[in-house]
Amino acid sequence: MIRNRFARSVSTAAVMLFVAVAVYARQQTLTPEIVVSLKTVSSVTIDPTGKNIAYTLTTPRGADEETGGRYSELFVIPAAGGAPRQFTYKPNNAGSPQWAPDGKWIYFTSLRKGFDEQTEVYRIPVDGGEAELVSRSSNGVRQFKLAPNGEWIAYTMTDAATAAEKSAARKGNDVQTVDKNFKQHRLYVQAVGSSEAKSVSGEMSVWDFEWSPDGSQVVFQASATPRTDDSYMFKKLYMGWSNAHMPPKVLTETKGKLGNMAWSPDGKQIAFLGGVDESDPTNGSIFVVPATGGTAKNLSQNYEGTVTWVGWLDATTLIFSATERSHTALKTMSVKDGALKRMIDSGYGMSSISVTADGKTLALVANTYKHHNEVFVCALVTKKVTRLTNSNPELDNLRFSGTKEISWKAKDGLEITGLLMLPLDYQPGTKYPCIVQVHGGPESAYVEGWTTRYVTWSELLAARGYVVFSPNYRGSTGRGVAYSKADHQDLAGKEFDDVIDGIDFLVQQGQVDPERVGIGGFSYGGYFSAWAATRHTERFKAASMGAGIANWISFTGTSDIPYENSMVHWNLEVFKNMEKAWSRSPLAHVEKSQTALLISHGDKDDRVPIGQGWEIYTAMKLLGKTVEFDIYPREAHGWAERNHQLYSIKRNLEWFEKYVRGGATSKASSLP
């Protein structure tokens, strides 16, 4: 009897424990610690036979590790499915994996201090063995491509300081005159197995390049200088030769931004992404030009989307990925008549794509709202998409809110779209606090898929009972060239009205409490957040300004993209329109602010220099406003270090809890 009673009690306890564990598992949600600890696939390449896929997996450093960015390791997984094999290990990073034509070797870049003190190209046998050094650059490899025939590699390398320059620097005779004595990023070609490399680009800086199918030519994008602004706005397309027997020649005339390039399988045509003119915010249109040169033809002139990558399936068919409204899509296009066919339906956020030589199979990096980037494979005949990796199994038992696309009418009648995420346990008829997440760019867009990162807090906010609103205001990508230009000469005008109109739409739907609205974003999203906290302070309880612009005039004079900003964002010259530039600066309206403003900035930011944060912080502090300023050491335009990312997430969540949900009074602070 005693034994039976004990057995029954143990059995009952076990059942209760099982139920408790099951309930606990169902209740688990994403945490800041999980977000910054996620592993993510960053690139894929499928071998020419279609049997294996090589990919790089990035892993964050541990909380107690030395400061630095993420590690990147090389793996191979069968395209038919199976366990991945690891080929490289941290701290030796691996990047840009590429297959030899026979599928027996994988080429990649790595900094391996046991071999060299700079980044070089290595190769490793797929059947196992040690990595071998391939390139022998004098100043480190920036980017490389293996020729399709496997006989050549091309790589870019920045000019090194001369012996005379090094000697002068040691003596303090190293004053630098701006825009003089550039160190160019030159393009070199080297025969595999040789130690000799020859420059084929001349006195230019090369930013991207692609081999011809037979390995005799290389098409490349280059600008006169290595300035960041030039890399955005002043690149041209050139043709070079692997044996360097002729100087490069201009392939075709282009205007504005340029994107990726791809040779047709027969070597007769080159497809590339570009802008339609100098004021086009994106390189989202498909052009095709004969490989012998001539006038490029825009094949996507009437396409209401923004192309993000283009490749070839055969000599007459292109394949491309694109942003369409708030989705990503993979389609094919006929070169002859521009006819489109959808290959992969929406539901995925897609990036790196690799197609087999026969055009029948592709590998891609994709995510959904339930998981970060993973390796997928797709048979193009059946259009069946299969996930191959599960890098973060801890996500499998978590609850997610997910997003849905919504649309609303702006005051002028234009349809605006965006993503809406409701609280995890949303109750119809309840009005919730709302956080508006504003994307940067503005030439960007929120798309369905994984949306929670250190600068976008979607699922974390939804789990805490917020409505999360992510608008793709005019000026965003995904709606064609005209839509992306619709904010020209009107920054924070109608484009910000689109955000206000979207909030009003959600209020009318009964989902949002208009008295509890916050806003946050990074870069251009940080500008919008500062604009909300000043010019539209009556609408927002709190704002988070991540690396945002406070003063368009001083920003233009100190950023590394003054021309790009003026042409594709403003489409006017700032220093000829000072009054307008000032009127659209948050700093001009700071005196009226009653919004609690959190400012975050990296101290090594050249894109939006940290002075932008100091200007608005100092102004608000002197005026007695509610403001705090976080400076992230060693960080540029974005946080690379894990602990910085974790701090930023928690800081923003606490900021919104205090000033949006909690309704803390944004009372004046006093100077110390």
pLDDT digits (tens, 9 = 90+) for 209-259: 999 999 999 999 999 999 999 999 999 999 998 776 788 999 999 999 999
Assess whether pLDDT exceeds 60 at residue 39. Answer: yes
- What mean pLDDT comes out for the span 425-429? 95
pLDDT tops 50 at residue 23: no
| Other beta carbons less than 10 A from residue 657's beta carbon | 17
User: How high is the pLDDT of residue 244?
Assistant: 63
Q: For residue 146, what are the contacts with CB-CB under 8 A and spacing of at least 6? A: 98, 99, 100, 107, 152, 153, 192, 211
**pLDDT, mean of residues 470-499:** 96
Read off the pLDDT of each residue in 82-91 and give the average, rounded to a whole number: 95
DSSP 293: -
Q: What residue ranges define each of the domains in the chain, with the CATH number in brackets?
A: 91-162+181-395 (2.120.10.30), 421-661 (3.40.50.1820)
pLDDT score recorded for residue 14: 45
Q: Which two tokens stand for residue 498?
A: 């689109």
Structure tokens at 523: 């870069």
Q: What is the pTM of this model?
A: 0.92
Give the side-chain half-sphere CA count within 13 A for 179.
5
> Both ends of the chain: CA-CA distance in Å?
75
The sign of the dihedral angle between the CA atoms of 592, 595, 601, 605 is negative
DSSP 412-466: TS-EEEEEEE--TT--TT--EEEEEEE-SSSS----SS--BSSS-BHHHHHHTT-
What integer pLDDT is reported at residue 209 of this predicted model? 98
Segment 374-400, tens digit of pLDDT: 999 999 988 999 999 999 999 999 999
Q: Which single residue is written with the structure tokens 């080159």?
A: 270
Q: What is the pLDDT of residue 664?
A: 67
pLDDT number for residue 665: 53
Instruction: Report the pLDDT averaged over residues 138-155.
Output: 96
pLDDT of residue 13: 46
| Cα angle: 362, vertex 364, 370; to 5 degrees | 135
For residue 496 the two structure tokens come to 């910000």
Amino acid 421 reads: M
Greater model confidence, 8 or 614: 614
Give the pLDDT confidence of 246-292 residue by residue, as tens digits.
Answer: 889 999 999 999 999 999 999 999 999 999 999 999 999 999 999 99
Q: What separation in angstroms does the CA of 544 have from each of 203, 235, 518, 592, 610? A: 44, 35, 8, 17, 15
Is the per-residue pLDDT at 132 higher than 80?
yes
Q: How far apart are CA 205 and CA 202, in angstroms?
A: 9
466-476 mean pLDDT: 98
Tell me, what's the pLDDT at 669? 37
Cis peptide before 633 (omega within 30 of 0): no
C-alpha to C-alpha distance for 484 and 498, rounded to whole angstroms: 14
- Reply yes or no on whether the pLDDT at 566 is more than 70: yes
pLDDT attached to residue 457: 98
Say yes or no to pLDDT of 672 above 60: no
CA distance 333 to 541: 47
- Cα–Cα dist 137/131, whole Å: 17
pLDDT at 3: 41
Task: Supply 85's token pair.
Answer: 């094999």
Q: If we measure between CA atoms, which residue out of 621, 630, 670, 623 comes closest to residue 650?
A: 630
Mean pLDDT in residue range 453-472: 97
Longest dimension (CA), the chain: 98
- Residue 9: is its pLDDT beyond 70? no
pLDDT tens digit string along 338-369?
999 999 876 789 989 999 999 999 999 999 99
Give residue-wise pLDDT tens across range 508-523: 999 999 999 999 999 9
pLDDT of residue 113: 77
Using CA atoms, how far apart are residues 526 and 663, in angstroms rounded to an integer? 22
Angstrom CA distances, 54 to 59, 77, 580, stand at: 16, 7, 51
Cis peptide before 213 (omega within 30 of 0): no
- In the predicted model, is pLDDT for residue 74 greater than 90? yes
pLDDT score recorded for residue 188? 96
Q: What is the pLDDT of the chain when averaged over all its residues?
A: 92
The tokens for 487 are: 């904010």
Rounded Cα distance between 433 and 429, Å, is 13
Contacts of 524 (CB under 8 A, 6+ apart): 438, 439, 440, 441, 442, 548, 549, 569
pLDDT over threshold 70, residue 26: no
Residue 426 has pLDDT above 90, yes or no: yes
